[in-house]
């Protein structure tokens, strides 16, 4: 387990929980090297899917400190945008919902 997993991952998961609690219906995901184990993760790729642009702004604010402190690549989409792009399936994102954190 590398330093990114030990230091950053718990902080990111805590913020993602805050997103889910604060934004009704928001869904949160991890994707990229942190989920595949193909190579040591150099960053954390995070996706937040929420209802609209207002919730997107709220999610960005909740995540801002952890993104400033650690190498987090934050992607935020509305449900409509994600459905159009089918991003979750395309990158094999893994949902983080509090039960599996």
Give the CATH number for residue 14. 3.30.460.10
Number of domains in the chain: 1
Q: In angstroms, rounded to a whole number, what is the distance separating the alpha carbons of residues 17 and 12?
A: 9
Structural domain includes residue 101: no
Percent of the chain with pLDDT over 70: 92
Structural domain includes residue 84: yes
Structural domain includes residue 37: yes
Structural domain includes residue 48: yes
3-state secondary structure at position 99: coil
Q: In angstroms, rounded to a whole number, what is the distance separating the alpha carbons of residues 48 and 84?
A: 15
Q: What is the pLDDT of residues 27-42, one digit of tens each?
A: 999 999 888 877 677 8
Does the pLDDT value for residue 1 go beyond 60? no
Q: In angstroms, rounded to a whole number, what is the distance separating the alpha carbons of residues 70 and 63?
A: 11
- H-state helical runs in the chain: 3, 9-22, 33-36, 53-69, 79-85, 87-91
pTM of the model: 0.91
Structural domain includes residue 20: yes
Q: Which residue range(s) make up the domain with 36?
A: 3-96
């Amino acid at each position: 387990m590398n330093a990114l997993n030990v230091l950053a991952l718990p902080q990111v998961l805590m913020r993602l929980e805050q997103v889910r609690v604060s934004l009704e219906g928001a869904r949160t995901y991890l994707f990229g090297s942190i989920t595949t184990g193909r190579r040591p993760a150099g960053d954390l790729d995070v996706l937040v899917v929420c209802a609209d642009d207002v919730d997107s702004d709220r999610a960005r604010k909740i995540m801002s400190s952890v993104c400033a402190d650690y190498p987090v690549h934050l992607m935020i989409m509305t449900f409509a945008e994600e459905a159009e792009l089918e991003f979750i399936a395309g990158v094999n994102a893994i949902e983080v919902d509090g039960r599996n954190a």
